[in-house]
Amino acid sequence: MLKFLIYICVCIFGVITLVWKIVIKCTPNMKGTVRYLAGIPGQSGYGSKSTADQVTQDCSSLPPNLTAIVTGATSGIGAETARVLAKRGVKIVMPARDLKKAAQVKENIQKECPKAEIIILDIDLSSFASIRKFCSEFLSLEIPLNILINNAGKFSHKLEFSEDKFEMTFATNYLGHFLLTELLLEKMIDTARETSVQGRIVNVSSVIHSWVKKDHFEFNRMLQPKHYNATRAYAQSKLANIMHANELAKQMKAINANIAINSVHPGIVKTGIIRDHKGIITDSMFFVASKLLKSTAQGASTTCYLALSSKTEGVTGRYFVDCNESRCSALANDDSEAHKLWKQTRALIHKRLRTKIRP
């Protein structure tokens, strides 16, 4: 009995240490950790404990008739993002592969906001063909597009390949959102020009991007890895999300397009992406850590802040955590690597789809 109790104590201590290390690793320094844990507001006036509802309260003077596409809105952070944007009067387009789940989210939002306009369209972000189909359906609706939230995320535990034969996590999180953005960009640029309202794109990344070393960021290896490591594949895709945002921000500036694109780390939230990791260690870790994690309402705040707040108008090519600009890794900030990645992705898509992507 005593041995068993000692074993339990050692396990609990181990889990607490592990969780603490993760929190430390997810914040830039000790000051950042204290700020995170205490929810101390940063320059924006918001912090880790701010919710998406709170950070969009100043949005009463939003331009009318805004439309947003929110990927991954069937659960977790995306569902909360869609709810709060809809509450602020934004028309929501929900691309989803599970249409029943999407209909349920729509129903929940409309219970709270009966006037919310929500359109559901089919998409599988791991498939180029499906993304093309979604975009042509969306474009045929002939509605404006002001906001694009690239939020959907996959964390594939084992090596799986998409129908285009690319590693599943990289295909869904990065390649899918890259193609989606490219196919919708012209629409966004036109909408911004016609309405004089800045178009906004938010790439939902993760602090885990900073775990990737340069020699593990090789395009062809990420498409078809020889030795699969699930966490590494996820981190690579999240690093690619930031580089995509940074490169596109530069390109938009160069052509004077009124489009801002930023990336965010939403915080650690117990959503589907983490719930998939079943097991006693993960479960006990989340039980112990529940006070250190964010709620979904807090997890959606940085995305909503960048999508709607007047304070972030004109801000582009930046990385945000807890609604404040933050530092991403040196590799994520490497302009030449970002440009190289963009060219490689464009070449891949061009080769596969024979689709013209901007020069």
Q: Is 7 a catalytic residue?
A: no
Burial of 1 (0-12, 13-18, 19+ CB in 10 A): exposed
User: Which of these segments, 76-84, 246-254, 304-312, 326-334, binds ligand NAP (CB under 6 A)?
Assistant: 76-84
Q: Does 230 bind ligand NAP (CB under 6 A)?
A: no
Q: How far is the CB of 213 from ligand NAP (least distance, A)?
A: 19
Among 25, 38, 98, 283, binds ligand NAP (CB under 6 A): 98
- Give the number of other CB atoms < 10 A from CB of residue 215: 7
Q: Does 331 bind ligand NAP (CB under 6 A)?
A: no
129: its two tokens: 């063909």
Q: Does 271 bind ligand NAP (CB under 6 A)?
A: yes
User: Which of these segments, 37-45, 138-146, 247-255, 272-280, binds ligand NAP (CB under 6 A)?
Assistant: 272-280
Q: How far is the CB of 190 from ligand NAP (least distance, A)?
A: 25
Q: Does 204 bind ligand NAP (CB under 6 A)?
A: yes
Would you say how long the chain is, in residues? 359
Q: Pick the closer one to ligand NAP by CB: 77 or 338.
A: 77
Q: Kindly name the residue from 228, 234, 305, 319 that is annotated as catalytic.
A: 228
Among 126, 156, 210, 298, binds ligand NAP (CB under 6 A): 126
Q: How far is the CB of 73 from ligand NAP (least distance, A)?
A: 6
Q: Does 181 bind ligand NAP (CB under 6 A)?
A: no
Q: Pick the closer one to ligand NAP by CB: 198 or 271.
A: 271
Q: Is 208 left (phi over 0), alpha (psi -120 to 50) or beta?
A: alpha
Q: Pick the closer one to ligand NAP by CB: 37 or 274.
A: 274
Among 125, 180, 304, 328, binds ligand NAP (CB under 6 A): 125
Q: Pick the closer one to ligand NAP by CB: 82 or 338.
A: 82
Listed in sequence order, the residues at least 6 apart from 180 whose beta carbon sits closer than 8 Å to its beta carbon are 71, 95, 125, 131, 134, 135, 148, 150
Q: Pick the closer one to ligand NAP by CB: 50 or 126.
A: 126
Among 51, 54, 156, 172, binds ligand NAP (CB under 6 A): 172
Q: How far is the CB of 52 from ligand NAP (least distance, A)?
A: 12
Q: Does 298 bind ligand NAP (CB under 6 A)?
A: no
Among 101, 216, 221, 346, binds ligand NAP (CB under 6 A): 101
Listed in sequence order, the residues at least 6 apart from 326 whose beta carbon sits closer than 8 Å to its beta carbon are 28, 265, 319, 320
Answer for the pair 185, 150: CB distance below 8 angstroms, yes or no.
Answer: no
Q: Pick the closer one to ligand NAP by CB: 193 or 352.
A: 352
User: Which of these segments, 134-142, 243-251, 268-276, 277-285, binds ligand NAP (CB under 6 A)?
Assistant: 268-276
Answer for the pair 187, 217: CB distance below 8 angstroms, yes or no.
Answer: no
User: Which of these segments, 45-53, 152-160, 181-189, 308-316, binds ligand NAP (CB under 6 A)?
Assistant: 152-160
322: its two tokens: 């807890």
Binding footprint of ligand NAP, residue count (CB under 6 A): 28
Task: Give the residues lining the site for ligand NAP (CB under 6 A).
Answer: 72, 74-78, 97-98, 101, 123-126, 151-154, 172, 204, 206, 265-266, 268-269, 271-274
Residues designated catalytic: 228
